[in-house]
Amino acid sequence: MVEELVPFPFYRDQSAIPAEHWLHRNDFRPHDSLRPYISCYWSVSTTTGIASIYNWLLKPSACAELSFNLYTPASAKAGECELMLAGPHVHQRERIFATGQQVVGVRFTATGFSELFKMPTSDIANRYVAANEPLGTWADRLFKELAHAKKPLDRLRILEARLLDRLDDRADRCSATQSALSVIAHRGGRATMEEMVQAAGYCERHLRRQFQETIGVSPKQVVRLKRFWDALVFARDHEDLPLAEVARRFSYCDPAHLADDFRDLMGVSPRRAVDILRFRLAPLPADSHVMKAG
């Protein structure tokens, strides 16, 4: 089962990533039975020849992530490790990567974290905390297993095995929230509250409360993030099109509205966001240097 983890390209054009790139990421498909709850597993490693840290821009997301960070002997924090939980966040945030890091993680679906762990995602929304703070002894046991594993893929298999264990006593799926999410997936940035309420079969107040508990953000914020991501991926795949056409296709009033939304959510212009998504902005940090042998 866990041997069925299959890597798949996270970036459209892998050849566009420079061979000397100092940070490498791979994504992996989850086990079939976990796909309703997990979007993907991922691993990140940094080149050991870089004697610097770099603030990597994390894009806004309506999904929680669990990650294990190990500092290799090449790091100033050699031997240290941590298991962290990141909640959904509407705006961008920075993640510091440095020499000699190996990080593996799991990205949950919008409701996956709440369903697997039977707790409101709102408890961790816009937070980055030690995993044992909300997850207790389950996280402590997982941490010990991951700390003793030798390779990133071994750690991912341990992660998957422990998440599969949780399926035996999982809570029922959040059907009303899922119905509303289906409307958002189909309608994108054009989804209205009325359409979501009708699909969910709840009143608006109850649906808002369900979203806050199971996803950690409001229906309006999920719609906004969906439109942002759809526009970002479209702009990445159609770089020859003007921003005015991207804005029109995704129901932005005009290119200025598109640019304002990108700057508010990600802190950068649409074109720079496209560069980040394609990993084109992956140069060595300006203040870095390659460490000399010996």
* CA dihedral for 157, 86, 207, 226, sign (positive or negative): negative
pLDDT in tens, 73-91: 666 676 789 999 999 998 8
Instruction: Between 188 and 208, name the one with better pLDDT.
Output: 208
CA distance 254 to 211: 29
Q: Quote the crossing angle between the two packed helices 219-237 and 204-214, to the nearest 10°.
A: 60
Instruction: Between 288 and 185, name the one with better pLDDT.
Output: 185
Segment 37-50 mean pLDDT: 77
Residues in the chain: 294
DSSP state letter for 289: -
CA distance 86 to 228: 20
Per-residue CA distances from 279 to 58, 105, 152 (Å): 12, 19, 21
pLDDT in tens, 92-119: 777 666 667 788 999 999 999 999 999 9
pLDDT in tens, 220-261: 999 999 999 999 989 988 988 999 999 999 989 999 999 999
* CA dihedral for 247, 248, 251, 255, sign (positive or negative): positive
